[in-house]
Amino acid sequence: MPISYSLSSSFILPNSNLHPIQFQTKFRTKNNHHFPNLKIRSTSLRTNNNTIQFLKPYLTSQQKPILYGWLCSAISVYSLSNLLSKFSAVTTATTTVDVRQGLALGGLVLVRLIATYAQHALLWEASLNAVYEVRVHVFDRVMQRELTFFEANDAISSGDIAYRITAEASDLAATLYALLNTIVPSSLQFSAMIMHMLAISPELSLISAMVIPCMVLVVTFLGQELRKISKKSHISIAALSAYLNEMLPAYLFVKANNAESLESVRFKRLALMDFSAMLNKKRMKAVIPQVIQAIYFGVLSILCAGSIVISRGSFDRCSLVSFVTSLLFLIEPIQDVGKAYNEWREGEPAIERLFAMTRFKNKVVEKPDAVDLDHVTGDLKFCDVSFKYNDGLPHILKGLNLHVRPGEIVAIVGPSGGGKTTLAKLLLRLYDPISGSVLIDNQDIQNIRLQSLRRHVGVVSQDITLFSGTVAENIGYRDLTTKIDMEKVKHVAQTAYADEFIRKLPEGYNTNIGPRGSTLSGGQKQRLAIARAFYQNSSILILDEATSALDSKSELLVRQAVERLMENRTVLVISHRLETVMMAKRIFLLDNGKLEELPRSTMLNGHMDSLLSSGHIV
Ligand SMILES: Nc1ncnc2c1ncn2[C@@H]1O[C@H](COP(=O)(O)OP(=O)(O)OP(=O)(O)O)[C@@H](O)[C@H]1O
């Protein structure tokens, strides 16, 4: 469905493979500076052990490959057990080895290899599928979050969000695989080996079992340590990713300010933090298998010495070989359990960080009986609207009233920070007023379906949002996932005075315009944005500082395009620029939370000087 104004994301457009997910708010959000405090939320991490609950539905949906994978592991263990019995018989045989025995051994080896391969492949398939579903769920939930999630003071930075959905979700696949590959396959191998050993010597098997509690104690302790270290490393790498995500798009600013070395220092600081966190994690991960092996081989040596005493020569050679081989194969599942446990502890923070973004309650909620508006004439009313962003913050709007008639063009001027953009956000229902109401065609917008509302209200702002992708995809963004109407794209481009420059591009409408439209000039970007608004064809239009200072030719083209765009629409012009303001029929001054109408004629004469001197217009 088309959206007039939404979270902009330079995510990959179809046919384009350039961009990481990146969230920015499209209007000038108040923390959208290039150098914000890189706050990486760690407080939202829950420390309970219920993370498996989050994953349950995703694992349940993968029953089929999981069960087949486990079946393959049973076949693999069965062949191993048989192999061990036959192998010990062969190694202790006094006469030459019979060909059939050799073939049977070879057959068993082959079955084990194939079954083990299938086990791994199927369990990876299940893990990766589950992660795909988790990713889609998390992304959809993030898309459902309201604007405050992205622009509040304590908002999670776009880099951090991107890191969670990309790298941390990938880590989750390894965690899930380790878990699935342990629960049944390792238990099967462990049980088979124990049974094998019990059959040969119950006493020796019991002594061997001593190894288990030792392992459990050590692995649990080390796992807890690993979890703590791992949490730190997740936070440090997310900080690095957030930094890069915000700094790289600002390369022009950085270069213009000779700030390369400054940024290098900032980068090194964060990279160093990540280095030490990562090193600690890797060291811990490296030490764990060694500790496990040390315990295992310690117990094994005691066992071997003990076995000689206990058996007092009652073992035949075949049984001894079989017993020791089983013991050796026992280490594999024990180690796997340890590894899986550690993977789990290591992956837990990633799971919590991912799902933390999905737990929320939006304040802007669509009513179940909200209506779809087919056609909108564009009658717009703000009735006694009061608004503040948060409880502790001051009122931005105080009982504001405004009536814009269908097809009317109204300009709002006022001091910076006066609340002009906030007014537009309320019209789009990105926030709800704390009192009063906003009406479109006499219908309270709280009774209109959000998609329907945003389809009828278009926005062109100075912070133009263009994506990596072709010119046509950017203009026809509304139909990106369905079918872009190329005739319409060309028509709206002509209307927006963009067709001429588009045709000169190497591949015309199919030219890729680079990240955020980096290959285009300011005026070209503005005309593309206007063409997109034409394509969307909303009855109500918000022009938020839509025209910025350009060279006179470009400015003329943009202004003419804007004039055409405003025809037959209700338009709210938010601007500081005199040329733009003068396009409006009525002009209002928004100051101290209230609107005051400035008579146009008066403005052109008396008020003008004071507005210019106060900086309300330029
Ligand atoms: N998400 C937010 N959380 C808290 N305060 C905010 C938020 N967004 C805006 N504000 C504050 O609300 C006030 C009004 O902001 P708004 O963007 O509506 O002003 P404006 O009139 O459009 O300003 P300008 O002309 O400079 O663009 C400002 O003081 C701003 O700091």
331 CA to middle of ligand 1, Å? 63
Helix axes 317-356, 169-183, angle to 10 degrees: 150
Q: Whose CA is nearest to atom 30 of ligand 1?
A: 417
Q: Tokens standing for 200?
A: 């040969």
Q: Looking at the DSSP assignment, which residues form a beta bridge with residue 217?
A: none
Together in a domain, 164 and 223: yes
Q: What is the domain range of residue 226?
A: 50-358
**Is there a domain that residue 253 lies in?**
yes
Q: Do residues 595 and 562 share a domain?
A: yes
Answer whether residue 375 is part of any domain: no
Task: Report the C-alpha gap between 611 and 504 in whole angstroms.
Answer: 41
Say whether both 219 and 183 belong to one domain. yes
Distance 588 CA to ligand 1 centre (A): 18
For residues 560 and 460, membership in a common domain is answered with: yes
Residue nearest atom 29 of ligand 1, based on CA coordinates: 417
Same domain, 386 and 349: no
Residue 551 within a domain:
yes
At residue 151, what is the residue type? E
453 and 537: one domain? yes
416 alpha carbon – ligand 1 mean position (Å): 8
d(CA 609, CA 101): 105
Nearest CA to ligand 1 atom 28: 417
For residue 406, the domain's CATH number is: 3.40.50.300
Phi, then psi, of 596 in degrees rounded to 5: -130, 125
How many Å lie between the centroid of ligand 1 and the Cα of residue 425?
A: 10
Q: How many whole angstroms separate alpha carbon 532 and alpha carbon 472?
A: 9
Of the residues 358, 388, 418, which one is the last residue of a structural domain?
Answer: 358
Same-domain check for residues 315 and 441: no
Q: Which residues contact 314 (CB under 8 A, 6 or more apart)?
A: none
Number of structural domains the chain divides into? 2
482 alpha carbon, distance to own chain's centre: 23
- For the record, the structure tokens of 527 come out as 């005309």
Within 13 Å, how many C-alpha atoms sit on residue 521's CB side?
14
- Looking at this predicted complex, what is its ipTM? 0.97
Domain contains 199: yes
- Could you tell me the CATH number of the domain that includes residue 72? 1.20.1560.10
- In this structure, the answer to whether residues 136 and 257 fall within a common structural domain is yes
Residues 454 and 343 grouped into a single domain: no
- 219 lies in the same domain as 282: yes
- Number of C-beta neighbours around residue 609 at 10 A: 9
How remote is the CA of residue 397 from the centroid of ligand 1, in Å?
Answer: 11
Q: What is the pLDDT of residue 582?
A: 78
Are 386 and 346 members of one domain?
Answer: no
- Nearest Cα to Cα of residue 351 among 179, 182, 234: 234
Q: What whole-number distance in Å separates Cα of residue 145 and Cα of residue 150?
A: 8
Q: Is residue 5 one of the residues assigned to a domain?
A: no
Looking at the chain, how many residues does it have? 618
In a domain, 179, yes or no: yes
- The string of pLDDT tens digits covering residues 327-350 is 777 777 877 777 787 788 878 888
Residue 538 lies in a domain: yes
Write the single-letter amino acid at 144.
Q
Atom of ligand 1 nearest to the CA of 576: 25
Residues 216-255 have pLDDT tens digits of 777 778 878 888 888 888 888 888 888 888 788 777 777 7
Query: Where does 489-574 show beta strands of DSSP type E?
Result: 540-544, 570-574
Structural domain includes residue 4 = no
Give the closest residue (by CA) to ligand 1 atom 18: 419
Enumerate residues lining ligand 1, CB below 6 A. 28, 30, 151-152, 389, 393, 396, 414, 416-422
| Positions in the chain whose pLDDT score sits under 50 | 1-48, 606, 618
Is the domain of 388 the same as that of 533?
yes
Ligand 1 atom 9: residue of nearest CA: 30
